[in-house]
């Protein structure tokens, strides 16, 4: 899907960030263009989820230095809701349960916030129901989940489908999907992956954060990045993920040992 | 001035004991003169901001001659399947209304036999909330719900500003009757309301009771005592909301007189600015196999104060009682205060009684989740509060929505 005239959607430069005074990101650089699918892999604690939260604007994370630009705009000054409205979507690793808040109402309010930004008319309850029924098909989700409280009592797989349903409704420019494959059985993985594929557009981009190659069998990435110690230490194509699956992350330790030795 | 002197002055300002509540008035006034207003040394009033009680004694008592100028109430249209009784204090409440089929006025003999008896059963010492009402109430709404009645009833009080108002209600619900009761109390500027409600449930009665109590103006106060006696095999569920009062005290007291009954209580109290709202609940099982499911929720913002005191008494003869009490609280400001205290007195040995209390703030992760979907901060907070209220609100009869209380709760309380 990459064409020579691709425009940059997301540009991250030398990003350092901390949470609760712990320095987690140590200089992340990443460039994502229209139509691209990037996969970020790495061990637990390598900073993958932190990166996704920082892009989405989670208030617990502090930016120490560096920049994040979305379509040329510095987003570090923007509140999380403003980032979402201009087209940044974070698919949560652990979608939050919100008792008492109807999933349908939540989806409608969120969709209308985004539509307002896109200068589209707001949808009333009936119009929204038509839209949501159509988008439910993308993730093969039971409409009964619309009547429940947001994510409450959903199984792991249902929560992840609900995330992709939100992506389908919000039509983001960039989707950062944090371990969307975790907790999914093979069938659910296929459905979720096919949903993501259907939603990919030449004018949008996706970042998949994952531990495993299996998601990348379903969604072919243009770039695979490996994160360790809060930065991207290696970038390649889909073959890098295949190699990684075979050899594991041990080479990271070897590399760092070599660096230590060189010192 | 000493509190007893204030009481004397107030009592002197009331008309002398008269009418069919003469005896009650005398009892209330004598007790009040003897005990005076409560002090912080009384355990039940320990946390009460006593200054807030002054309005009950200082505001002029509502007089029916003022009716047209003081009553400004526009009630939402009532549902067709729901009867509505509007109480005008100091006027025979059922003088001008046609009681629906299945509801009768209580006879003088029945009133004599029953009135005050349930409150007496609750054994509360120095019962100021009740004394104040006894001393001043001059009319009584006393109804008998017959066993063939299976409908809905609304009892509402017009909003009266600049006055104190005392109302007294007695409901006898006959064996096998099924009643869906909604009571609405709305307080206006500078007003004080005191309500004393007694309800007797005969066996096999099912009563769903919604109580919406909202102060709407400045300096409105309310004290409401609700005494319920449940006979065996009766089911009582109480869903209450208190909000917007400068001061409110709600005392639901339930006696399962022979056990073998079920009680559900779901309460919500919401405070802002310098308001204080207290719920003092009591449930006593006087026989075996009683059941209780109680949830009390409180939301306190700004400088306000919520109090919950939940007493559960399980004496020796109340074996196999199953009682669960949960107090869940949301503190929305560092200056707000919540006091919550379970009080379980369990003598019987074969029972299951659980209690728990939590105090938390709006969850940051829940808020971030909503924000990350483009929902603005105010709207996200409203959604979260609405979600928090839902557990209590969802149990109200659907017709309660016409009173727009949820919108008011959300509009006025924001993080």
Looking at chain B, the whole-number percentage of residues with pLDDT higher than 70 is 94
| pLDDT tens-digit readout, A35-87 | 999 999 998 899 999 999 999 999 999 999 999 999 999 999 999 999 999 99
Q: Is the pLDDT of residue B195 over 70?
A: yes
Q: Do A84 and B365 touch (CB under 8 A)?
A: no
| pLDDT tens-digit readout, A160-174 | 999 999 999 999 999
CATH 3.40.50.300 fits A8-252, yes or no: yes
For residue A56, list chain B residues with Cβ-Cβ distance below 8 A.
372
Given CB atoms, is A115 within the 8 Å cutoff of chain B? Answer: no
For residue A105, list chain B residues with Cβ-Cβ distance below 8 A.
383
Given CB atoms, is A221 within the 8 Å cutoff of chain B? Answer: no
Given CB atoms, is A249 within the 8 Å cutoff of chain B? Answer: no
Nearest-CB residue to A81 (from B376, B386, B391):
B376
Output B415 or B209, whichever has higher pLDDT.
Answer: B209
Q: Do B374 and A170 touch (CB under 8 A)?
A: yes
Report, as an integer, the average pLDDT of A183-189: 88
For residue B392, list chain A residues with Cβ-Cβ distance below 8 A.
none
Number of cross-chain residue pairs from A and B with Cβ atoms under 8 Å apart: 79
Q: Is the pLDDT of residue A1 over 50?
A: no
Instruction: Return the HEC string of chain B.
Output: CCHHHHHHHHHHHCCCCCHHHHHHHHHHHHHHHHHCCCCCCCHHHCCCCHHHHHHHHHCCECCHHHHHHHECCCCCCCCCCEEEEECCCCCCCCCCCCCCCCEEECCHHHHHHHCCHHHHHCCCCCCHHHHHHHHHCCCCEEEEECCCCCCEEEEECCCECCCEEEEEEEEEECCCCEEEEEEEEEECCCEEEEEEEEEEECCCCEEEEEEEEEECCCCEEEEEEEEEEECCCCEEEEEEEEECCCEEEEEEEEEECCCCCEEEEEEEEEECCCCEEEEEEEEEECCCCCEEEEEEEEEECCCCEEEEEEEEEECCCCCCCEEEEEEEEEECCCCCEEEEEEEEEECCCCCEEEEEEEEECCCHHHHHHHHCCCCCHHHHHHHHHHHHHHHHHCCCCHHHHHHCHHHHHHHHCCC
For residue B410, list chain A residues with Cβ-Cβ distance below 8 A.
none
Looking at chain A, the whole-number percentage of residues with pLDDT higher than 90 is 79
Given CB atoms, is A98 within the 8 Å cutoff of chain B? Answer: yes
Mutate which: B364, B374, B385, B406, vs A, most A CBs within 10 A: B374
Report, as an integer, the average pLDDT of B237-263: 96
| pLDDT tens-digit readout, B152-188 | 888 888 778 888 899 999 999 999 999 999 999 988 8
Q: Which residue of B has its CA nearest to A87?
A: B374
Looking at chain B, the whole-number percentage of residues with pLDDT higher than 90 is 62
Given CB atoms, is B378 within the 8 Å cutoff of chain A? Answer: no
Q: Do A81 and B372 touch (CB under 8 A)?
A: yes
Given CB atoms, is A148 within the 8 Å cutoff of chain B? Answer: no
pTM for this entry: 0.84
Q: Which residue of A has its CA nearest to B384?
A: A101
What's the gap in Å between the CA of A109 and the closest CA on chain B?
A: 7
ipTM: 0.94
Domain map (residue ranges) of chain A: 8-252
């Amino acid at each position: 899907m990459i064409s020579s005239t691709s425009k940059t959607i997301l540009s991250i430069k030398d990003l350092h960030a901390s949470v609760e005074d712990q320095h987690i990101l140590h200089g992340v650089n990443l460039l994502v263009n229209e139509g691209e699918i990037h996969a970020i892999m790495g061990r637990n604690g390598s900073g993958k989820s932190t990166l996704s939260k920082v892009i989405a604007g989670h208030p617990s994370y502090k930016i120490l230095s560096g920049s994040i630009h979305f379509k040329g705009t510095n987003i570090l000054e923007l509140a999380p809701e403003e980032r979402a409205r201009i087209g940044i979507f974070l698919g949560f690793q652990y979608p939050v349960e919100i008792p008492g808040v109807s999933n349908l109402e939540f989806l409608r309010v969120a969709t209308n916030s985004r539509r307002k930004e896109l200068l589209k008319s707001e949808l009333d309850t009936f119009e929204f129901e038509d839209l949501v029924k159509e988008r439910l098909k993308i993730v093969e989700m039971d409409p009964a989940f619309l009547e429940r409280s947001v994510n409450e009592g959903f199984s792991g797989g249902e929560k992840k489908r609900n995330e992709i349903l939100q992506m389908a409704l919000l039509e983001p420019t960039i989707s950062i999907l944090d371990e969307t494959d975790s907790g999914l059985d093979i069938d659910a993985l296929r459905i979720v992956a096919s949903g993501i594929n259907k939603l990919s557009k030449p004018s949008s981009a996706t970042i998949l954060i994952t531990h495993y190659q299996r998601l990348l069998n379903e969604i072919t990435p243009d770039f695979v990045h490996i994160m360790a110690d809060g930065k991207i230490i290696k970038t390649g194509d889909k073959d890098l993920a295949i190699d990684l699956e075979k050899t594991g992350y041990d080479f990271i330790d070897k590399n760092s040992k070599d660096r230590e030795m060189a010192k | 001035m000493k509190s007893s002197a204030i009481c004397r002055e107030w009592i002197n300002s009331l008309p002398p004991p008269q009418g069919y509540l003469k005896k009650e008035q005398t009892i209330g006034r004598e007790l009040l003169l003897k005990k005076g207003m409560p002090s912080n040394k009384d355990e039940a009033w320990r946390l009460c901001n006593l200054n807030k009680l002054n309005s009950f004694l200082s505001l002029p008592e509502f007089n029916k001659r003022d009716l047209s100028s003081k009553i400004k109430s526009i009630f939402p249209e009532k549902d067709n399947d729901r009867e509505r009784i509007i109480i005008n204090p100091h006027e025979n409440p059922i003088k001008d209304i046609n009681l629906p089929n299945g509801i009768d006025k209580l006879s003088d003999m029945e009133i004599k036999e029953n009135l005050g008896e349930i409150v007496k059963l609750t054994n509360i010492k120095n019962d100021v909330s009740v004394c104040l009402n006894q001393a001043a109430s001059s009319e009584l709404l006393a109804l008998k719900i017959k066993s063939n009645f299976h409908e809905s009833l609304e009892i509402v009080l017009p909003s009266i500003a600049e006055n104190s108002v005392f109302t007294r209600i007695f409901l006898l619900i006959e064996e096998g009757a099924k009643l869906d009761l909604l009571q609405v109390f709305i307080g206006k500027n500078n007003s004080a309301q005191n309500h004393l409600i007694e309800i007797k449930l005969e066996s096999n009665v099912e009563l769903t009771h919604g109580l919406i109590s909202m102060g709407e103006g400045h300096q409105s106060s309310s004290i409401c005592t609700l005494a319920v006696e449940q006979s065996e095999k009766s089911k009582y569920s109480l869903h209450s909301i208190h909000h917007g009062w400068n001061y409110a005290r709600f005392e639901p007291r339930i006696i399962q007189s022979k056990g073998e009954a079920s009680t559900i209580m779901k309460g919500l109290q919401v405070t802002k600015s310098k308001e204080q709202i207290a719920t003092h609940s009591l449930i006593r099982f006087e026989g075996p196999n009683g059941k209780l499911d109680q949830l009390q929720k409180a939301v306190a913002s700004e400088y306000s104060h919520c109090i919950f005191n939940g007493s559960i008494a399980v004496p020796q003869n109340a074996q196999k009682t199953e009682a669960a009490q949960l107090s869940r609280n949301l503190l929305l400001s560092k200056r707000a205060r919540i006091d919550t205290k379970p009080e379980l007195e369990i003598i019987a040995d074969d029972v299951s009684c659980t209690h728990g209390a939590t105090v938390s703030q709006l969850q940051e992760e829940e808020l971030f989740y909503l924000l990350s979907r483009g929902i603005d901060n105010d709207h996200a907070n409203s959604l979260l509060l609405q979600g928090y209220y839902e557990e209590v609100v969802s149990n109200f009869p659907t017709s309660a929505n016409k009173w727009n209380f949820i919108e008011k709760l959300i509009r006025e309380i924001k993080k």
